[in-house]
Structure 1
């Protein structure tokens, strides 16, 4: 099954109260995440997280559904389809 690269952006409102639930979802997909970066917004009420992951379309869609089910979390992504000959450095 082909795995592609997804760069996923999360905007988390009320990050202080939503962070534990968001973290639980991200942890479940930890074996697919290549890189994670998080920064709070200047107001500190909103957080921004970016994830780079290597996953099948189905795996990505499940992550996205779980995150979007958390009230106050917005998700957007960029999808890069990998040709068979392209490999991620390990």
Structure 2
């Protein structure tokens, strides 16, 4: 099954109290995540996390649904289809 690239942006309200729930979901999909970055600002109630992941459409949709089910979490993404000849990660 083809895996594509998804760049996923998360906006997390009430960052201090929601972070553990968001982290649990992200951890479940850790094998698909190529890169994660975040802007944790203690003086702000909002946090921003970006994920770059290599996943099938079903894997991405499950992640998105789990994150959107968390109150105060907004999810948006960009999808890049990969031609079969392009490999982001090679397994040795």
| Shared fold, TM over 0.5 | yes
Runs of 4+ that moved beyond 2 A: 40-43
Unaligned runs of 5+ in 2: none
1:35 equivalent in structure 2: 35
RMSD across aligned positions (CA): 1.3
What TM-score, normalized to structure 2? 0.93
Which deviates more, 23-32 or 40-49?
40-49
**Map of 1:1-90 to 2, 5 A cutoff?**
1-40=1-40, 43-90=43-90
Residue-pair matches, total: 90
Query: What secondary structure, in the 3-state scheme, does the structure 2 residue paired with 1:18 have?
Result: helix
What TM-score, normalized to structure 1? 0.95
Unaligned runs of 5+ in 1: none
